[in-house]
Chains A and B, each alone.
Chain A
Amino acid sequence: MVRFVVVFIVLISVLFGLEMLNSVQDTVVQPFTSAIARVSAWFVQPFDDAVISSGRVLRHAGNGFAVSIESGCNGVEAMIVLFAAIIAFPGGWYHRLLALMVGFVAVQAMNILRIISLFYLGQWNLDVFTWMHLYLWPVLIMLDVLIVFLVYLRWLNRPQMAEA
């Protein structure tokens, strides 16, 4: 178990350090963040056609309200944590890859829900927006990561439980 903790911490540190590099930001993180803004707009537009995305910004053409998706709001850090946990935990590569794909979808679905909810909360009440943005949504995203990992543990353990 010590190995898990060490590998987990090393992976998080290395990946987080890599994420901070300007070259990684320019070539991976920023384009990915822009894609999240586009996907968020795509989900909202059937219900509210005044919403447009431009780069990392999600904007309401009607009232001018806009949110910019910055570092920490793109789900990359949550994915790094999940990636580190899954890779550090003993398991076959097929299981790991499958868990990472499912985890990516779970984290990004939650993150898009966060962005859309914050976009509308900000238009309604900035205090509520601040509360949700700074204190509650980071917790919910990490809870999402934790649940994905716990389900992965249970899934890995399932054949052994069946045999027992």
Chain B
Amino acid sequence: MSVAEMEGVLETPWSGGKSPFAVNSKKLGMWLFIMSDSLTFSALLISYAYVRLFTPDWPRPFEIWPAIAKSSFMTLVLLSSSLTMVLAVAAAYRGQVKRAVWLLIATIACGLAFVVIHATEWVTLIHEGITPWSNPINPAVPLFGGAFFGLTGLHMLHVTLGVVYLGVICWGFNKGKWTAEHVEVSGLYWHFVDLVWMFIFPMLYLLSVNPK
């Protein structure tokens, strides 16, 4: 095979000469992380759905006001943070550093608001006696607390880590240390956190609305 022929082979999409996915390694790595993390959340959500559907006396402690109203507001905050994040990525690629930094700050602020509101809700539930291993509403179903705190706790951990991650990226991008690609990859993580909440909110909150 001549050199020209070998070059031709190596430059076809699936032969290693060119990236078959046309993305950089950071972005591909983040997508692979998202795949694995989504399976963790899927396993938790499916196991939650399993016990939720087939336990007839599953506790339904959430009133429309204030629990559902509060969690709906948290959803609005998280969805809005995704909008600011995607706009920050677009601004970063257009070279509008100042705009991108401000949009990243807005995203971080929304993330922090989400964590604070969520923490106040946890405190309210704990004061009502609901813990990861017990609940006074129906002591026969202690799994309610375990499922609720397990799922929302893992999600809140992701949001908190995301806020730190975005803070670091925001600082580095403002200093010129990192590029728009770094902003985009951090955005993928942030949108994933938002995506997971799109399942946790209806499954955990809306399915546990007080029927009265």
Indicate whether A and B interact.
Answer: no
Chain B residues within CB distance 8 Å of chain A: none
